[in-house]
Chains A and B, each alone.
Chain A
Amino acid sequence: MERSFSCPTCGKCCYGQLPLAIDDTLAHADRFPLVVMWTPVRQGGRSFDITAELGITIKLRKRKLAAVQISPCAYLPPTLPCPELTADGLCGIHATKPLRCRTMPFSAYRDEADQADLLIPRSEWMCDTSPDAPVVYRDKSILDRQNYDAERAQLVRDAAILKPYGEWLLDSVPSLRMEIQKVAMKPSGGQVIVSFSTLIPRLAKVDIYAFARNQLPIMTAYAKKTANDPTLTDFHKRYADMAGEWGKIGGN
Chain B
Amino acid sequence: MAYTFKLLPVFSAALIALASPVLARDITHELGTTDVPDDPKRIVVLEFSYIDALASVGVAPVGLADDGKRDRVIAPYIDVIGDDWVSVGTRKTPSLEIIASLQPDLIIADKTRHTAAYDTLSEIAPTIVLDSLGGDYHASVAQMAAIGTAIGKSVEMEARITAHKATMAEYVAQIKPKAEGIAAQFGVTNAKGLWLHSPRSYNGSLLEMFGFDSNMETADGAVYEKVYVPTTLEQLSEIDPDLLLVGAYADPSFVDGWAGETLYENLTSVKADQVLPVTAHNWSRLRGMLAAEMTAADVVRIMDALE
Do A and B interact with each other, yes or no?
no
